[in-house]
Amino acid sequence: MGEETEFRFTRRRPRQPEFLGNYLPNRVLWSLFDCLVKGCIAMEYPPRMTEAGTWAASGGDFGHPFSETIPPQDAQGNDPPGTGMVHFDIDPGNVFVGGFQYGVRAALIQNDPDGHREVPIFKLGDFGTSHDVTPANLIDEAFIWRRRHVFKNGFATPEQFTREWDYLTSTPAEYTHRTHIPVTIAGRYGPKTNIFQIAMIMYEAITLTRAPQQPLATVIPGQPRRVTYGGHLDHPDYALVDPALRDLVKECLYECPDHRPSLRELQTAINIVLNGPMPEGNNTMPILDWWAMVVGDPPEMKTPYVRYVNDLDTWIQQGFPMAQNQIPRLHRNIY
């Protein structure tokens, strides 16, 4: 958590089919998803506020790497309440890329004893629009309507654009009270709002295209009637991407927040894959070589060349001419 950020993950990098193939390697995709899920866990259960799986009175030292963990469930099998933080602005431009982890720093990452030797750390940033959503917020008419418009193009969530909004004049709670028809999507901001947005990042990482500005809803065959915005991931172009990954991303893109996996379910599913044999797909290039070819090292910072232009001396030597009522001054040009 405290290491220096070296790169930014961005969709603006052009596709380079000669070494990308049709998709990113499965290990890169799974590792990216793992980091994004851990970022969501950190928002819900801040690592510096937890210790040995329980809430602690104080956090640790600034800059020390902490593991993102979900505290144990209670006797009824329910996850403990968290902060309720919703980012509202998760998109590829707000995912930052750290370095590879070796040696002592790798050992500090308890959930990743091998460190990030093949895939660097991806981290969520830019929390300027985030909010710790409370039950009181969800019945606050001004809050839920204002938050409808807080998102990046292509990364709006169903909680913000669902057709349920067409039936609301105040709050979802008031509508349900009057009609006895529950509002299950509109304004239901929470941790699963973050899950939808990180799944849209995974959609872009798998397809290497921008998220659709108007996402297309699809019903998954063989499932109860659950609408997803990830149906395009079943296209034959992505057949060599791990089907388990595509299925999990599609579940995270369910329209109804209650249908999406929980953070615990996501972390469990990802850990099973990362700790087992990884589907190779069609990319046999060593991951480190692939990564070096795609990103490489950041360019060195260049010291700007500054040329000072002194017009004052010439002006004084000329006897202080007042041409066009302009008095020259000392200025500089930067190249």
pLDDT in tens, 251-284: 999 999 999 999 999 999 999 998 887 776 655 5
**Is the residue at 190 inside a domain?**
yes
| Residues 320 and 290 both lie in one domain | no
pLDDT at residue 104 is higher than 70: no
Structure tokens of 173? 């709670």
**Is the residue at 97 inside a domain?**
yes
Closest CA to 6 of 94, 100, 91: 100
Q: Decide if 123 contacts 61 (C-beta within 8 A).
A: no
| Residues 171 and 307 both lie in one domain | no
Q: Domains in the chain: how many in total?
A: 2
For the segment 140-152, the average pLDDT, to the nearest whole number, is: 88
Per-residue pLDDT of 126-144, as tens digits, reads: 898 999 999 999 888 889 8
What's this model's pTM, rounded to 2 decimal places? 0.74
- The HSE-up count of residue 127 (CA atoms within 13 Å, CB side) is 12
pLDDT at residue 321 is higher than 70: no
The string of DSSP letters for 131-159 reads EE--TTGGG-HHHHHHGGG-S-TT---HH
**Is the residue at 2 inside a domain?**
no
Instruction: Write out 55-88 in H/E/C secondary structure.
Output: ECCCCCCCCCCCCCCCCCCCCCCCCCCCCCEECC
Host domain of residue 272: 7-294
| Residues 326 and 277 both lie in one domain | no
CATH number, position 39: 1.10.510.10
- The HSE-up count of residue 287 (CA atoms within 13 Å, CB side) is 17
Structure tokens of 89? 């602005």
Helix (H) or strand (E) holding 331: strand 330-334
pLDDT of residue 17: 45
